[in-house]
């Protein structure tokens, strides 16, 4: 009998040809096939028989389908989000935006939060979990992404505090917010992305003109009218875009500060 332990080793070897986290990928797929958590599997199930369906899940991963799409969810900050085709997969680098906001507010809580380009509700719902007294609005141009966001808010018990609206960035928004979160598309038109990203995730959530800055040019000028006194915006950037986005923020009359991600790469511009 082939055990799950041995099947995980084999799957890891195969997935390693293209993934930066092959063992984690294999373990998440196996836990999904077992219908249990990865932690429970690692503690007590490694000598079980290989679960039915695991091989098929591995084949999907070998076709470069994102793990989050295969298992239907992704952990982010302190929450678990349902994701799938049509929604950008939450990434750990984006947690830098929440970390920067936590550092700014300290033991205070922002009361009103705006998430521009909310996708499946990633940043807004993470922020609302961080600050239970806050409420927020998520904007996205994709109804498919907003369907995920509304479902995630409901499953997390946040539907009374989180509202979602189809929109074109900040157009038509007249309120003021203590915290604005934004993870806009920032990939340049000629940049090459891994097949699992370019081949599966929505292009509208990835690409932003020739230099990747088109959406920053639309978002940043609206920040002064949207920010409440003492408020900040935390904006995700590509690691080469810190100076360009900071210049846009300065031109809008706001201060700008760059915050690195855990890998030490510029990942967030704090504007306020």
pLDDT tens string 117-150? 999 999 999 999 999 999 999 999 999 999 999 9
In this structure, is residue 45 part of a structural domain?
yes
| 8 A C-beta contact, residue 182 and residue 233 | yes
Domain that holds residue 54: 4-63
Total count of domains within the chain: 2
**What percentage of the chain carries pLDDT values higher than 70?**
96
- Residue 44, CA distances (Å) to 26, 34, 37, 150, 172 in order: 16, 12, 11, 35, 53
Q: What is the mean pLDDT of the chain?
A: 94
Is pLDDT larger for residue 200 or for residue 150?
Answer: 150
Are the C-beta atoms of residues 201 and 64 closer than 8 Å to each other? no
Residue 69: exposure state from Cβ atoms within 10 A (0-12, 13-18, ≥19): buried
The answer to whether residue 72 is domain-embedded is no
Of the pLDDT bands very low, low, confident and very high (cuts 50, 70, 90), residue 1 is low
Q: Residue 76: inside a domain, yes or no?
A: no
Please report whether residue 73 resides in a domain.
no
Residue 78 lies in a domain: no
pLDDT at 198: 67
Q: Are residues 97 and 38 in the same domain?
A: no
For residues 29 and 133, state if they share a domain.
no
Distance CA 87, CA 150 (A): 12
Q: What gap in Å lies between CA 98 and CA 123, rounded to an integer? A: 7
202-258 pLDDT per residue, tens: 767 777 677 889 999 999 999 999 999 999 999 999 999 999 999 999 999 999 999
Same domain as 109, residue 52: no
Residues 133 and 42 both lie in one domain: no
- Domain with residue 200: its CATH number is 3.40.50.150
Q: Are 106 and 58 members of one domain?
A: no
Which residue from 152, 113, 151, 149 is spatially nearest to 132, judged by alpha carbons?
Answer: 113
Average pLDDT over residues 157-179: 96
CATH number assigned to the domain comprising residue 28? 1.10.8
70 belongs to a structural domain? no
Residue 168 DSSP code: S
Residues 90 and 172 in one domain: yes
- Are 97 and 178 found together in one domain? yes
Q: What is the signed CA dihedral for 241, 244, 250, 255, rounded to 10 degrees?
A: 20
Q: With cut-offs at 50, 70 and 90, classify the pLDDT of residue 270.
A: very high
Quick check: is 74 in a domain?
no
Same domain, 205 and 135: yes
Domain co-membership, 219 together with 133: yes
Q: Is residue 124 part of a domain?
A: yes
Flag whether pLDDT at 188 surpasses 80. Answer: no
216 in the same domain as 92: yes
Mean pLDDT (whole number) for 192-204: 72
pLDDT in tens, 63-78: 999 999 999 999 999 9
Q: Are residues 136 and 29 in the same domain?
A: no
- pTM here is 0.91
* 56 and 113 both lie in a single domain: no
């Amino acid at each position: 009998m082939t055990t799950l332990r041995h099947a995980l080793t084999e799957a890891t070897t195969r997935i390693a040809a293209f993934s930066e986290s092959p063992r984690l990928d294999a373990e998440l797929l196996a836990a999904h096939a077992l219908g249990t958590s990865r932690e429970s599997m690692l503690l007590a199930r490694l000598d079980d028989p290989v679960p039915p369906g695991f091989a098929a899940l591995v084949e999907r991963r070998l076709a470069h389908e994102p793990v989050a799409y295969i298992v239907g969810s992704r952990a982010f900050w302190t929450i678990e989000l349902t994701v799938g085709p049509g929604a950008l997969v939450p990434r750990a680098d984006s947690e830098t935006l929440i970390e920067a906001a936590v550092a700014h507010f300290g033991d205070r809580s922002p009361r009103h939060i705006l998430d521009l380009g909310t996708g499946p509700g990633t940043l807004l719902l993470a922020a609302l979990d961080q600050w239970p007294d806050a409420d927020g609005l998520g904007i996205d141009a994709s109804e498919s992404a907003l369907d995920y966001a509304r479902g995630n808010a409901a499953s997390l018990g946040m539907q009374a505090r989180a509202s979602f609206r189809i929109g074109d960035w900040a157009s038509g928004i007249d309120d003021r917010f203590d915290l604005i979160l934004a993870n806009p598309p920032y990939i340049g038109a000629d940049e090459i992305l891994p097949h699992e990203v370019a081949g599966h995730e929505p292009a509208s959530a990835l690409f932003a003109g020739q230099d990747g800055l088109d959406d920053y040019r639309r978002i940043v000028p609206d920040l002064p009218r949207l920010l409440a006194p003492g408020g900040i915006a935390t904006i995700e950037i590509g690691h080469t875009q810190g100076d360009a986005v900071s210049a846009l923020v300065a031109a809008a009359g706001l201060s700008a500060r760059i915050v690195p991600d855990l890998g030490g790469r510029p990942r967030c511009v704090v504007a306020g």
